[in-house]
Amino acid sequence: MLACRFVALIALVSCAEAQTIEALMGVGEGHCSVALGALDGKTFACQVWDHDRGQFDHPAVLEIYRDQRRVTAIKPGEVIAEWHFWNNGEQISVHTANTYRLYDTTTGKQIALAVLAGNASNLPVWAKDRSELEDESVPEGPSYVQQRTLWIAKVLRQIEAIGPGMTRSDLESIMTTEGGISTREQRTYVYKGCPYIKVDAVFAPKGANIEDDVLVSVSRPYLQFSVMD
């Protein structure tokens, strides 16, 4: 499964503690422009910043921490474009321009190198970011195209049935709320079967029960990645 192949970014502390990853690493606030933990729960990577605009715009150093100690620093010699943990935090993949390097997170030694030549699908799996791996996991072929076409037609018919005069509860039978800024009178909804299919709805409040609010207008459906609060 994709989730097993690609190391996701994780939150390691509770909201109640409000402890930053920088604090877990034992560094001061602002030392890292990006600070992330691996799935092993003990390995952290810091893209060094130190309030230096040059390092922020052109990151060149990644520091690896365990047990609040820096174990190594990775300096590929070029501006770092993207990076992610690999193999449960034992390695880290660093992308600079068209070059991909895989490093050991304990020694900082480079253990693999790949150069992009043509299609990114030709890269080794450790060099690919999450979006590339997700794209490759989507099945292709005539039967899949037909199924997706029929499913989209079904979704469009359901959304086109939504119109002024319906209540909020009617809308929420097939849609659910999206994150981001909203009010009682206006907010974005996403299709329950796919959070990337959205509509913008405008309501007229009706009494204390928000579910009784009446739909005044609804936009055409559109596609957009999810918005988080």
Residues 155-196: pLDDT tens digits?
Answer: 999 999 999 999 999 999 999 998 888 899 999 999 999 999
The span from the CA of 43 to the CA of 22, in Å, is 12
Query: What residue type is assigned to position 93 of the chain?
Result: S
At residue 159, the 3 state secondary structure works out as: helix
What top-level class would CATH report for the domain 2-137?
mainly beta
In the 8-state DSSP scheme, what is residue 167? B
Instruction: Using pLDDT thresholds of 50, 70 and 90, give the confidence band for residue 98.
Output: confident
In the 8-state DSSP scheme, what is residue 10? B
Percent of the chain with pLDDT over 70: 91
DSSP conformation letters of 104-133: ETTT--EEEEEE--S-GGGS-GGG--HHHH
The pTM score is 0.64
Instruction: Using pLDDT thresholds of 50, 70 and 90, give the confidence band for residue 122.
Output: confident
Residue labelled with tokens 């690493």: 25
Both tokens of 194, joined, read 């796919």
pLDDT confidence of residue 95: 96
The span from the CA of 195 to the CA of 223, in Å, is 9
pLDDT confidence of residue 19: 64
CA angle in degrees (0–180, nearest 5) for 16-19-24? 145
pLDDT confidence of residue 105: 97
Residue 129 phi, psi (nearest 5): -80, 175
Looking at residues 33-45, what average pLDDT do you find? 92
Domain boundaries, the chain: 2-137, 142-223
